[in-house]
Amino acid sequence: MSEFVFVCKVEDVPVGAAKQFKINGTEIALAHVEGGECYAIGGRCSHLRAQLGKGTLEGTVLTCPWHASQFEMTTGKLLRWVQEPPLRRILGALVPPFLRRGVPSYEVKIEDGQVLVKI
Ligand code: FES
């Protein structure tokens, strides 16, 4: 059964950035977006398992640090498949659409400056 687990203090993740955490054996990418909200998705890219928490955040869109696939932080939905480098993009286009998938998303709440994620 899932329960909310302490991940970090809100200030541990700068606004406009994401960080990688491992909670009870589950890797997550936690993003702190403009406006103060925090969102958590699965920490490993659905392409080749890069650490998504090391990616770059624009709004609620997280870009994978390896080949630039993009994920929506609020849902874990895949927004864009592999882009870089060009050869990998060409090879990535050969992957059937049903294998290009998003990652799990996790419920987040903030209490007393602490980020809790339901794992
Ligand atoms: S590992 Fe993330 S796009 Fe390739």
Dist. CA 66 → ligand 1 center (Å)? 5
What's the pLDDT at 104? 98
This prediction has a pTM of 0.94
Q: Rounded to whole angstroms, how far apart are CA atoms 103 and 46?
A: 7
Nearest to 64 by CA among 55, 72, 73: 55
* Mean pLDDT of all residues belonging to the chain: 95
Kindly report, residue by residue over 7-41, the tens digit of the pLDDT: 999 999 999 999 999 999 999 999 999 999 999 99
Please, what are the domains in the chain?
7-112 (2.102.10.10)
Q: Is the CB of 52 under 6 A from ligand 1?
A: no
Helix H, strand E, coil C: the string for 18-48 is EEEEEECCEEEEEEECCCCCEEEEECECCCC
